[in-house]
Amino acid sequence: MAERDDGVPAEAPPDETASGEGAAELGGSDGPMDGATAAVGDALGRFMKVALTRGRREVERAAQGGRVRLEQRQLRKDLDVMYRKLGREVMYLVDGGDIVHPGVVRGVARIQAVEARMQAMAEAGLLDESDDPQD
């Protein structure tokens, strides 16, 4: 330490990194900024927790909605296949004479007419084979 003129040791200049306002500005532990910094950190932590929780909930809800839509689509597809199979079976039963209901017989006759027209188009080379509705 340096001495003053009168022989008394001079005080060292205040060290801003040791304590006081300078320490608070530099991240020390006992300044007015510590409370504000902690409050901001806590608020940011709470915000992130809420945002992540809400985001997770929204993702789960979207995933559940997607699973439901996928299941509905699959059920519709399965139902369509079942109707086709049932329709074919009814056609075979009408052709075999096991079913003689007038409305069903008319429907089978219309289907047979469409199939005959498609066959004629195929023989003429006018039908695209990739459009075949058969399973």
54: tokens are: 């809400």
Helices (H) and strands (E) in the chain, counts: 3, 0
pLDDT above 50: residue 126: yes
For the question of whether the overall pTM of this predicted structure is more than 0.85, the answer is: no
Which of 35-44, 94-103, 110-119 bottoms out in mean pLDDT, i.e. has the lowest?
35-44
For residue range 48-104, list pLDDT tens digits in order.
999 999 999 999 999 999 999 999 999 999 999 999 999 999 999 999 999 999 999
The rounded Cα 130 to chain-centroid distance in angstroms is 34
Spatial CA neighbour of 86 closest among 102, 99, 70, 72: 99
Domain ranges of the chain: 32-128
120: tokens are: 């004629």
